[in-house]
Structure 1
Amino acid sequence: MKQLILRQKQVIFFIIAGGLSAIVEIGSFKILSIYLPRLFSSEYNLYGIKYPFSNILSTSCGIITNYFLSIWFVFERGKHSKKKEFLYFISVSVVSTFISLIIFQILYHFVYKDVIDLRFYVLSPEMMSKITAILLVSMLNYSIKKKIIFNG
């Protein structure tokens, strides 16, 4: 078991960093989705898109958190300069953000219709959509970041 953990150390650290980044993203989404609609009425529905600003801002918080956790704990520096590495990371993250937003909209509009009461927390359709979108996009992110950005 110990050898398996040592061989999969990078994946385990990626999962931990991703989990912490997801907590930041989900937490900021929860806060933003409560308060932004009070400032912008279109936050509930901007041309059919639900919570666009909350999604973009919370995803940005998650991306920045993930970048720093990735360079500190997960990946070793690749052949790119720090500036180029950061630009690649942000570029991949921007594309991932759009994919995540599309997945969120599909799930919110067509899949998650009811709340799930866990007794200690109630998951709304927007929170279930956000969590699912994060999980799906994180698998893609690991592969791209490992192979292209950090050349691992």
Structure 2
Amino acid sequence: MLMNETPDPPELGMTPLLAAAELQDHLMTVTNDLERLQRLLDDAGEALSTHFYSASSHVHGLLNGASEGGDAHAPVLQKVMLDIAGAITALQFQDMATQLIAHTSQRLRNCADQLARDTFGDDEDGATVVEIAPLRPNPVTQDEMDAGSIELF
């Protein structure tokens, strides 16, 4: 299914069992998409972090040389360091997004599991396992980012 497509509505007269199975499939598809998004964000966050730390290290080296030799480029290098520090703030987005995706995935998985258990019951292998839903309604209370001191994990 393409991102801008909407799923077909359940057919009229569809049995509740079939409708529940289709709903469960959609929930699992969304969960898988969120997990894929999580991997993409993790890769992007790791690449950003590596490049920012590398750039910061190079600029620190230039700043140390500039301060010892009275280089006229020192103010520019200090501005670059401020820009790098500000850009690192964006890495907080990856952490917040990761928490929200994990939280949403757990909720969706719980819904899909409960639907399967309630609709299809237990099978010959035993009781249906239902993943526990998150206890908190939202893992991230922050909804914007501002520049400031940054602590990376």
TM-score by length of 2: 0.32
Higher relative contact order (CA 8 A, sep 6+): 2
Larger radius of gyration: 2
Greater helix proportion: 1
TM-score, normalising length from structure 1? 0.32
